[in-house]
Amino acid sequence: MINENKPVHIVGAGLAGSECAWQLAQMGFSVKIYEMRNPGPSSTTTEAHKTAHFAELVCSNSLGSQTDYSAPGQLKWEAEQMNSLVLSSAKKFNVPAGMALAVDRERFSKHITETLRNHPLIEVIDQVVEKLSDIPRPAVIATGPLTHSTLALDLKNHFDDEFLYFFDAIAPVIDTDSIQTEIAFKADRFGKGHQDYYNCGMNREQYYEFVKAISLARKVESKDFEKNTPYFSGCMPIETMIERGLETPRFGPMSPKGIKNPRNHQTYYAVVQLRQENKEGTAYNMVGFQTKMAYQEQQKIFRMIPGLEEAEFLKLGSIHRNLYIQTPKKLTPFLQSRKDPELFFAGQITGVEGYFDSTCIGIIVAKFVAEQKRNQSFTAPPRESAMGSLLHAITEDNDYFQPTNINFGLFPNPSGLKIKSHEDKRQKKALQLENAKKAFSIYLSTINE
């Protein structure tokens, strides 16, 4: 039997690591969490992080939809039942974003940092971990897609030189005062009434001038080790979309569907949306405009957007390489190394994509670690649930494994339902959500006992 009094060692205080540490500490276990980004002189950072706070959001400030009829919304409902620290913090420091849960990232991450550093059962160790052998067991590796290079090499050796990479891209952030609000307008799609987003409309001529300028812009060249690395579709740079066809952005982040200017009821050929970045509303980010264009090119081209002619950029877009494990081949269904059963993995490094998806893997792994320490059998979240579907997606045998986030395609199909119309599709999703809630509620009652 594993000693229940031994602390759990967690490497990485991102979303998954922070949530995992919180969950274990709330269950009464001692936790030591290692974080290389810290306020001291020994701090080590990454190409994307800007602060020493835990759970820092480096791309968008949105944790996705919180509607009760969406797959991400169901994931949040389940996390709420598990008393998620990340979710409660996000709700505490939310900013207007329509049906999405967006946060003031500075206050959000600072709150999580203070909560964990002040928890009586959590010890924070401000140092870089370079080797798996440096960490006592049981251990959870939650270092995310920007794992320190030395540890990444050790992980690669542990997994017999098999590791996978993909690119992640960051969208620009704009000073609110520099948005020309007599041109840009507040509205949400289909007149939902939230009006949380600024919208910058384009006619056909403006759109084509804009996308052609992006296609001709100077891009940041990939380093040799980054070449032949694919993009995850959820964070695809705008220029990569355009390479697939000049019209592609109009069916993605620049879709004008359902948007009208409330001042004159005008519709547009394409629309650029801006989402509030912080609580004060002093900054907005460009939705879907991740990019690897050179900085000077970004400023020149993005100021072609109506309403952004005088935009002041608080942060410009950038790109970095992420990594993840080939989880179905290298980890057990309970996210342990097949070589070392006391070595668990959590978060984006396991092949989930998205802030909150990563958080939920931290919740799941905390439960598995607790069961192992208590010498209990592992109990995975039910397959019908959002957490169970996400876990199944990254652990089922798959020769073409790639990162995924929660979506209805991961849920099991309701039995006996035949899809013949749009109404059938809506009914299917409703049943999937109903089944998920029922199954997860039973699971909760079982583990609580």
Q: What is the average pLDDT across 320-326?
A: 78
Let me know whether 69 and 125 are in one domain.
yes
- Position 141 in a domain: yes
Amino acid symbol at 185 = F
Q: Are 345 and 326 in contact (CB under 8 A)?
A: no
Let me know whether 159 and 107 are in one domain.
yes
User: What are phi and psi for residue 74, nearest 5 degrees?
Assistant: -65, -40
pLDDT of residue 267 exceeding 80: yes
- Position 43 in a domain: yes
Let me know whether 335 and 280 are in one domain.
no
Let me know whether 300 and 392 are in one domain.
no
pLDDT of residue 386 exceeding 80: yes
Shortest CA distance to 189 belongs to which of 261, 294, 122, 283? 261
pLDDT of residue 223 exceeding 60: no
Alpha helix ranges (H) inside 217-354: 238-243, 295-302, 327-330
* Residue 228, CA distances (Å) to 84, 100, 223, 319 in order: 37, 33, 10, 15
pLDDT in tens, 206-216: 999 999 999 99
pLDDT range class, residue 443, cuts 50, 70, 90: very high
pLDDT in tens, 5-15: 789 999 998 99
Our measurement of the distance from residue 391's CA atom to the centroid of its chain's CA atoms, rounded to an integer in Å, reads: 15
CA-to-CA distance for 161 and 169, rounded, in angstroms? 26
Q: What is the average pLDDT across 380-408?
A: 89
Mean pLDDT lowest for which of 31-45, 298-312, 345-359?
31-45
- Position 2 in a domain: no
CA-to-CA distance for 172 and 105, rounded, in angstroms? 15
- Position 187 in a domain: yes
**Domain end among 321, 337, 362:** 321
Q: What is the average pLDDT across 265-277?
A: 93
pLDDT of residue 294 exceeding 50: yes
Residue 345 has what pLDDT?
97
Shortest CA distance to 196 belongs to which of 120, 133, 285? 285
pLDDT range class, residue 1, cuts 50, 70, 90: very low
Let me know whether 233 and 291 are in one domain.
yes
* CATH label of the domain that carries residue 156: 3.50.50.60
pLDDT of residue 426 exceeding 90: no
- Position 317 in a domain: yes
Let me know whether 255 and 383 are in one domain.
no
**Domain end among 321, 341, 373:** 321
Let me know whether 15 and 104 are in one domain.
yes
- Position 1 in a domain: no
Residue 244 CB burial class (10 angstroms; 0-12, 13-18, ≥19): exposed
Residue 420 has what pLDDT?
66
- Domain range spanning residue 290? 169-321
Mean pLDDT lowest for which of 23-27, 180-184, 402-406?
402-406
* CATH label of the domain that carries residue 255: 2.40.30.260
Let me know whether 114 and 63 are in one domain.
yes
What is the pTM (predicted TM-score) of this model? 0.76
pLDDT of residue 122 exceeding 90: yes
Let me know whether 143 and 268 are in one domain.
no
Let me know whether 343 and 410 are in one domain.
yes
Residue 442 has what pLDDT?
96
Q: What is the average pLDDT across 170-186?
A: 90
Compute the CA torsion angle 206, 210, 212, 217 (nearest 10 deg). Answer: 160
Q: What is the average pLDDT across 46-50?
A: 61
Q: What is the average pLDDT across 187-208?
A: 88
Let me know whether 48 and 72 are in one domain.
yes
Shortest CA distance to 23 belongs to which of 355, 332, 371, 343? 371
Q: What is the average pLDDT across 171-187?
A: 91
Higher pLDDT, 177 or 211: 211
Residue 398 has what pLDDT?
76
Per DSSP, the chain holds a count of helices (H) and strands (E) of 12, 16
Q: How many distinct structural domains can be found in the chain?
A: 2
pLDDT in tens, 65-102: 999 999 999 999 999 999 999 999 999 999 998 889 99
Let me know whether 47 and 144 are in one domain.
yes
pLDDT in tens, 123-160: 999 888 889 999 999 999 998 777 777 888 888 889 98
Q: What is the average pLDDT across 414-428?
A: 75
Average pLDDT, the chain: 88
Residue 225 has what pLDDT?
44
Q: What is the average pLDDT across 381-409?
A: 89
